[in-house]
Structure 1
């Protein structure tokens, strides 16, 4: 799945959430990620993903994408622009 496809997929699931709500959800998910990292709760074979670093990392990713969607930002375009900038900066 490309970044653009992920944005489209999440857009269909996160409709109606505004910019502020999307940002607050991201902060909530980052806090949850910090907690499971502190406890080192990792996904193990035959275990539910619930309460794991893996679950919370995806939740953070989903929230970042939802926030980008709320601002009508094409993350694939941003990735390309940022990588070009980084390449020039470090040469």
Structure 2
């Protein structure tokens, strides 16, 4: 799945711009949970029975809320990736 497809999917199932501040708070919460998972060193791709609390699950949750916030603010993350990559090439010489 491309990032644009994920972003589009999330917009169809979860899009409430009036609550953008709450989505941001959820993002912060998920980053905290990711930190806890990393500290537990639950690395690798888990099976569904091991997904809960894993780094994989928490990374997805962070990505989910990043995509949801991008949707609410009219940001195309795929396009932004390429723009930012160009800026970084100029800034860091690449």
What TM-score range do you get, normalising by the shorter chain? 0.7 to 0.9
Distance in 2 separating the partners of 1:80 and 1:62: 20
Give, in angstroms, the shift of residue 47 of structure 1.
3.3
Indicate how the Cα distance of structure 1 residues 23 and 8 shifts in structure 2: closer, same or farther if over 3 A, else same.
same
- Unmatched tracts of structure 2, length 5 or more: none
Unaligned segments of structure 1, at least 5 residues: none
> Are the equivalent residues in 2 in contact too, given 1:14–1:66 (CA < 8 A)?
yes
Query: Deviation per CA, 1:18-69, whole angstroms, max 9, x where unpaired?
Result: 2101111100100111111111124545733111111001111111111111
In structure 2, the residue matched to 1:13 is 13
Higher helix share goes to which structure? 2
Q: Return structure 1 stretches of 4+ with deviation > 3 angstroms.
A: 42-47
TM-score w.r.t. length of structure 1? 0.88
What is the TM-score when the length of structure 2 is the normalising length?
0.85
The number of equivalent residue pairs is 91
